[in-house]
Structure 1
Amino acid sequence: MHKVDELSENKSAMDDPYFALLQEAISRAHAPYSGFPVSAVVRGVSGAFYSGVNVENAAYPQGWCAEASALSAMVLAGETELDEVAVMANGAAICTPCGGCRQKIREFASGKTRILCYGPEGLRATYTLDDLLPHSFGPDHLK
């Protein structure tokens, strides 16, 4: 894991293509029960960005995560490989994708894929998928 101050490529929020997209998306999250909105942006190998938000449901297990929404948008656009994932939450702690979303990301990414974790102030930390999901199971195991 790399804290933002350790990153040589640290950019201001103004130079960061993810930050504005995450901020715009998080304002549209549907989190009336937890009060914990989350947004995600995935960048496909084409360079296109796909946004998603968490959508809660009164029947709690029926909601879905922001990462799943963003991945769905990417697949709908015809892409099946991604370069990076960015996630934003407003809490004090660094928000990483949940275990289920880590596996969903793995379907379209390698262990070296960067996961960028944001708060309202900007980039907080960067991980690789291997950091978050070591010894993962992916499509290559089924060949």
Structure 2
Amino acid sequence: MASLDTLFEAARAIQAKAYAPYSRFKVGAAIATPSGQLFIGCNVENAAYPVGSCAEAGAISAMIAAGESRIAEIVVMGEGEHLVTPCGGCRQRIREFATPDTPIHIAGPEGIRKRFTLDELLPFSFGPDNLTDR
């Protein structure tokens, strides 16, 4: 699996390519899968809000397009001094492909700021397993 340093550098590199002309708030995400694959995504804004796409959604789409379906670890990198955690929609997207103990690292330009598990960011979540209990 990719190291945390590799994930951080991948998130930083893709963050620089984000298309954020309206908010000017660039976000990058890097996902490692259990097989060792690395997938990246950046936010892409659109003048017709909310048509844009989050960095995490882009990385997950790339992962799925490559035939992978499990997130082992993710780094989300934002700008500014505050933690940039995944939005509610992206927390749910991550939930679809991760386990409750999947590490989610929140980064800024200086490095990793905080580590959460998916369960900490999305407690008592609804996921695919809820649909099999019917």
Please classify the TM superposition score into its range, dividing by the shorter chain length.
over 0.9
What does residue range 45-64 of structure 1 map to in structure 2 within 5 Å? 45-64=34-53
Secondary structure of the structure 2 residue equivalent to 1:72: helix
Unmatched 5+ stretches in structure 1:
1-14
Query: Could you tell me how far apart the structure 2 residues matched to 1:74 and 1:106 are?
Result: 14
TM-score by length of 2: 0.94
Matched, 1:98 2:90: no
Q: Which amino acid aligns with 2:17?
A: R
Instruction: Give 1:85 shift.
Output: 1.1
Match of 2:30 among 36, 41, 46: 41
Root-mean-square deviation (Å)? 0.9
Which residue of structure 1 aligns with residue 74 of structure 2? 85
In the TM superposition, residue 22 of structure 1 has moved relative to its aligned partner by 1.2
Q: Which runs of 4+ in 1 moved over 3 A?
A: none
Which protein, 1 or 2, shows the higher relative CO under an 8 Å CA cutoff with sep ≥ 6? 1
- 1:1-143 paired onto structure 2 within 5 Å: 16-143=5-132
Is the contact made by 2:8 and 2:30 (CA closer than 8 Å) also made in structure 1?
Answer: no
Secondary structure of the structure 2 residue equivalent to 1:102: helix
The amino acid of 1:135's aligned partner reads F
The aligned amino acid for 1:59 is: A
Per-residue CA deviations over 1:90-137 (Å, capped at 9, x if unaligned) read 111011100000000000011111100000000000000000000001
Question: What TM-score do the two structures reach when normalised by structure 1?
Answer: 0.88
Percent sequence identity is: 53
Q: Post-superposition shift, 1:20? A: 1.3
Structure 2 residues without counterparts, runs of 5 or longer: none
SS of 1:105 mapped into structure 2: helix
Aligned-pair CA distance for 1:23: 1.4
Number of positions where the alignment pairs a residue of Structure 1 with one of Structure 2: 129
The amino acid of 2:28's aligned partner reads: S
